Structure 1
Amino acid sequence: MNSPIANRVDTIFVHVTNLERAVEWYGRLLGAAVTGEVRSPIYTFDMGEGRPGLTLDDHGFDDGYELRPLNHPLFNLSASDIQAAYDHVTELGAEIVSEIQHFPDLSEFTFKDLDGNIIAICTCFS
């Protein structure tokens, strides 16, 4: 079946209330350097070749926009050591939503970013 839509994800949008603060926090979370100018409405972190970007969006041009975080994870980030990732997230002051859970094929936990967006961290086992 043909489709005009490509079978890939180019970026993941995370909606935030303060772009500069969010860029600084996500930079620390990801251990990523902030490159270029941080200017409303968006900033995108490069997540590696062949991977979707992570775009922070403060809706600077959307009058009346109101952020309403979901009550479930937006996406997951990968970690090779789930305990080290958990410790890093708690050091950043993030609110833990679910403690580390272990399953046969992965371990994971969830937390809230500065704006209440829930994110999962997963360690997958081969």
Structure 2
Amino acid sequence: MSKSPITNQIGAIFLHVSDMERSIQWYNDLLGLPVHSSGHEGTIYSLDMIGGSALLLDSNMKNIENKNNKTQFFFDTKNLVESYNFIKEKGIEIVTEIEVHEAISFFTFKDLDGNILMICEDKRNL
């Protein structure tokens, strides 16, 4: 097997949004981050995540229709119940209730554009 020049690490995840300003406020509020300036003439906004990978809000795709009901990615948490209550208190639509498994537990919810996101507690890392 030859060595690849591609790093085996996610650098960023693109999340297509219909209203950049609302999405910037929503995600910064969700994650407790301060708002900063956008890049690429306001069409890309980077949310720097712990662990190196960034979440990039991208408004370059107009007329988005999310017919995909699969989870786009997940956020880690050390306290799933607290995270669930936080999302619920914000009035965010919960898609699936907390599902408990031996190693992990999670629930899913929707963002402003109907993207399905997950919050996951990995009990192996507690």
Contact 2:38 2:44 in 1 (8 A): no
Unpaired runs of at least 5, structure 2: none
Which structure features the higher share of helix residues? Answer: 2
SS for the counterpart of 1:123 is strand
Unpaired runs of at least 5, structure 1: none
SS for the counterpart of 2:81 is helix
Q: Does 1:68 find its partner at 2:59?
A: no
Q: Does 1:119 find its partner at 2:114?
A: no
SS for the counterpart of 1:74 is strand
SS for the counterpart of 1:75 is strand
Number of paired residues? 121
Distance 1:37 1:68 in 2: 23
User: Which residue, out of 39, 44, 47, partners 2:46?
Assistant: 44
Percent of residue pairs identical: 39
SS for the counterpart of 2:10 is coil
Q: Deviations over 1:30-66 (max 9, x none)?
A: 1111123475211001112x4200110111xx5xx33
Contact 2:24 2:35 in 1 (8 A): yes
| Structure 1 vs Structure 2 CA RMSD | 1.5
